[in-house]
Amino acid sequence: MRALKFLLALVLLPVLLGAMLATARIGALAVRRAGDGISLDLAAFGAGLFLAVLSFVALPRPRLGYVVGHELTHGLVAVLFGVRIHGLRASARGGSIRLSRTNVAIALAPYILPLYALAAAGLYAGASLFVDLTAWRPVAVGVIAFGWGLHLLFTVQVFRPDQPDLRDHGFVFSAVVILLGNLVLVSVAAAWLGAVSWGDVATAWQRGVGEVAAGLAGRVHRTGQ
């Protein structure tokens, strides 16, 4: 099974390269448009990320909070797949969850989905249905960015070949899926913040993946001649 996943990772690699190209273009477009003035939401998002890095470097790291969120993400995705949870253990030193069965999505979800940031976004969106929270949107954006920033920093810290979730499905395959998933979230965040439009995101991804695929096809064609 690992050999099959390794081959699948090789198939997905051009998609990942296209996604990187698309994300770079989205970032460049956002920077050009920011020359006309940075929106309050974008400034709040940047401040949240900065505070996340600052707290991660200068303050005691909330390791227990990360582990709890990590294992809960396993559990929540497992529930979506109809999997039974038999137990969950979490401490500052690590954690584990016992499931009736597992799959790739359940295993890799915590390395892609920032649970606390998504919870904050859901709470704000839900409350906005009943109360006008427009004035508080920058605060919500900052909190979401802070949670996402810590999630990314902890993910980088534990992203290594001996990590059980990654080892079980093959490190190369896991890395490709995780990187691809995080690039999708970056693109979604850029559009949600108004740094670029949803159409810009779609165009960037179409062009990025298309150009990589066309380049690969051209190389294969020239090699076969």
Same domain membership, residue 127 and residue 184: yes
Same domain membership, residue 168 and residue 224: no
Alpha helices by DSSP H, listed for the chain, are 2-34, 40-58, 63-80, 104-108, 115-128, 137-158, 164-168, 171-192, 198-224
Same domain membership, residue 204 and residue 184: no
Question: Does residue 181 fall inside a structural domain?
Answer: yes
Question: Does residue 129 fall inside a structural domain?
Answer: yes
Q: What single letter denotes the amino acid at residue 56? A: F
Angle at alpha carbon of residue 48, lines to 44 and 54, rounded to 5°: 140
Same domain membership, residue 157 and residue 107: yes
Question: Does residue 218 fall inside a structural domain?
Answer: yes
Q: Which pLDDT does position 33 carry in this prediction?
A: 79
Count of domains for the chain: 2
Predicted confidence band at 37 (pLDDT cuts at 50, 70, 90)?
A: low
Question: Does residue 19 fall inside a structural domain?
Answer: no
Question: Does residue 6 fall inside a structural domain?
Answer: no
Q: What single letter denotes the amino acid at residue 159? A: F
Question: Does residue 25 fall inside a structural domain?
Answer: no
**39 has pLDDT over 80:** no
- The parent domain of residue 163 ranges over 38-194
Q: Which pLDDT does position 15 carry in this prediction?
A: 92
Same domain membership, residue 208 and residue 168: no
C-alpha to C-alpha distances, 43 to 30, 35, 215, nearest whole angstrom:
13, 13, 37
Q: Which residue has the tokens 């050999």?
A: 3
Angle at alpha carbon of residue 203, lines to 197 and 205, rounded to 5°: 105
Task: State pLDDT tens for residues 43-87.
Answer: 899 999 999 999 999 999 899 999 999 999 999 999 999 999 999
Q: What is the mean pLDDT of the chain?
A: 90
Same domain membership, residue 225 and residue 136: no
Greater confidence (126 vs 7) lies with 126
Same domain membership, residue 145 and residue 223: no
Q: What does the chain come to in residues?
A: 225
Question: Does residue 159 fall inside a structural domain?
Answer: yes
Q: Encode burial over 76-92: b for 16+ CB neighbours within 10 A, e otherwise.
A: bbbeeeebeeeeeebee
Question: Does residue 16 fall inside a structural domain?
Answer: no
Same domain membership, residue 63 and residue 153: yes
Mean pLDDT calculated for residue range 26-55: 86
Q: Is 195 helix (H, G, I), strand (E, B) or coil?
A: coil
